[in-house]
Homo-oligomer: A and B are copies of this chain.
Amino acid sequence: MDDRSDDGGRGDGTLLDGLFATPAMARLFDDRARLQAMLDFEAALARAEAAAGVIPAEAAVAISAACDAGRFDLAAIGRAAADGGNLAIPMVKALTAAVGGEAARSVHWGATSQDAIDTGFMLQARAGLDLLILETGAIGDALATLADRNRKTVMPGRTFLQHALPVTFGLKAAGWLSGVTAAHAELRLVRATAIALQFGGAAGTLASLGDRGPAVAERLAANLDLPLPALPWHGDRTRIARIASALGLAAGALGKIALDVALMMQTEVGEAFEPAAPGKGGSSTMPHKRNPVGATLALASARQAQALVPLALQAMVAEHERPIGGWHTEWVALPEAFRLTAAAAGHVRTIAEGLEVDAARMRANLDRTQGLVLAERVMMALAPTLGRMPAHHRIEAATKRAVADGTTLHAALAADAEIVATLGADGLAALFDPQGYLGANDTFIEAAGAAWRAARAPAS
C-alpha cells in the first residue's frame, strides 16, 4: 500500500536538508546513523559482558560482527517500531536474527530498549557537539579577525534601530564574538559533562546482571569511551535538556549575528554583505537584489532550533522510571536541534569568513544625521560647565534648529556664541570627529579577543 520504498529515493524528507542542515550533521543524524549508534551500543555491550564473563567470548565476536547498520532493512525496522513504540525492539529482533545460533541468546543481554536508545543518542550527540565545537571555533576565529581588523571602522551604533553614538564595526564584531565565545564554551561544557553512558536495565537496577552490573557498566563505558555516570539516568533527563539548552544558546548567538547582517544589508543601509556566490541571493524576477539568503536561513534555523528546547525541558518532568511520551519527544527534537544549529552555524560561518564590509558606507551613514550622533559628546563637554540638564536642553534646541534649517549640528552650535566661548571653535570642531569619541572601543575589542582565545584553548 505504501510504495515509499519503491520510489527510488524520492519523497524521503530530505528536500530541505540544504536549507536546514549541513551535509556533515545530516549524516550524523540520519536514519542509518541512528541505527548504527544503537548497534554500536549492542556491540560494546557484548564485548563488555564477554570480558566480565557474563556471555561467551564467541558470542561477543559474533554480535560485534553483525552490528553493521548497512546490513539491516531500515524500512522494515521503521514499520515494526510502532508496535513496541520504539526502534530498539525491532533492532534487537533483527540483530538477534542476524547473529543466529548460540550467540543470538546473548544479544542485548541484561539491557533494556532505553539503554540502547539513550546511549546511541549520546554517541551521536557527542559527534554532533564535536562538529559544532569545530564550527563555532571557526566562526569565533573569523569574528576575532573581523573585530581586530575593524577597530577603526566607525559606523553608527544603533539602539532601537536609531543611530545612537559612533561605534566601530570591530566593536560590533567583538559583541558577536562575545556570544560565540559563550556558546562555544557551553558546547564544550556539555560535551564534557552531559555526555554519558546510559545503562540500567529494565528498571534501572541492572538486576538481571546480578552483582556484575557495575563491572559491566564500567567496561561498557570504556568500550564506548563514554563517561560512566553515578547512576542510570533513564528517569532524570537533565543531560538531554542541558544539551538542548546549549544548542538553543548557540542558536541564539548565531541568530544575533545573522539578524545584524541582514539589517546591515538593507538597501538603505548597505554596510556589509554576505559573500557573493554565483546564483546565491539572486531573485528570479529582480535582477538587482542581493538577498541575505544565508542570514535568512541562519535565522530560520536558529528559531526552529530554539523552538525545540521547551520539549526537552518538559521531558524532564517524566513519570517514574520511564515516562509516557516525554522521552519519545526527545527522539526527534534533539536530532533536529543538532541539524538546525549546524545549519545556522554553517550559514554564519560562511558569512563570518567572507563578510564584505563597506567602511565608506558605514562612515557615510554616520554622517547622515549631520552630526547629531555626536550631540551627546558635545553635551558631555558642556555639562561640566553648564550642568547635565541645561546642557541637554541647549543641545536639544540646537538640534531642532539644525533639523529645521537643514544644516549640521556643528553649524547650529557654532552660531551660539556662549558655546563657542566655552569650547573654542577648534574644540567644537574636534568634537565632531567620531574617531575621537570611541571611548573604550579598543580595550573592549582586545578583551573580547582575549576571552575568545581563552575559551578556544584546549582544556588543561
Contacts and interface: CB of A to CB of B under 8 A. Distances in A.
A386 to B, nearest CB: 9
A420 interface: no
A390 to B, nearest CB: 9
Contacts of A153: none
Interface in A240-265: 241-242, 245, 248-249, 251-253, 255-256, 258-260, 262-263, 265
A319 interface: yes
A303 B314 contact: yes
B233 A178 contact: yes
Nearest to A8: B9
A361 to B, nearest CB: 10
A47 B165 CA distance: 26
A101 to B, nearest CB: 10
A205 interface: yes
A77 B167 contact: no
A445 B83 CA distance: 33
A11 B74 contact: yes
B27 A12 contact: no
Interface stretch (A60-68, A126-134, A219-227, A290-298): A290-298
Interface in A185-201: 186, 201
A297 B329 CA distance: 9
B333 A304 contact: yes
A248 B313 contact: yes
Nearest to A346: B82
B9 A5 contact: yes
B287 A396 contact: yes
Nearest to A213: B440
Given A175-B204, A325-B300, A32 B11 contact: yes
Q: Number of contact residues on A: which range applies?
A: 35 or more
Contacts of A269: 266, 268
Contacts of A421: none
Contacts of A9: 5, 8-9, 12, 74-75
A122 interface: no
A157 B439 contact: no
Contacts of A268: 266, 268-269, 365, 368
A439 B213 contact: yes
Given A238-B182, A284-B112, A159 B321 contact: yes
B2 A31 contact: no
A317 interface: yes
Contacts of A365: 267-268
B163 A207 contact: no
Contact of A167 (B205, B288, B297, B313): B205
Contact of A160 (B207, B262, B383): B262
Contacts of A424: none
Given A12-B12, A204-B171, A444-B232, A329 B304 contact: yes
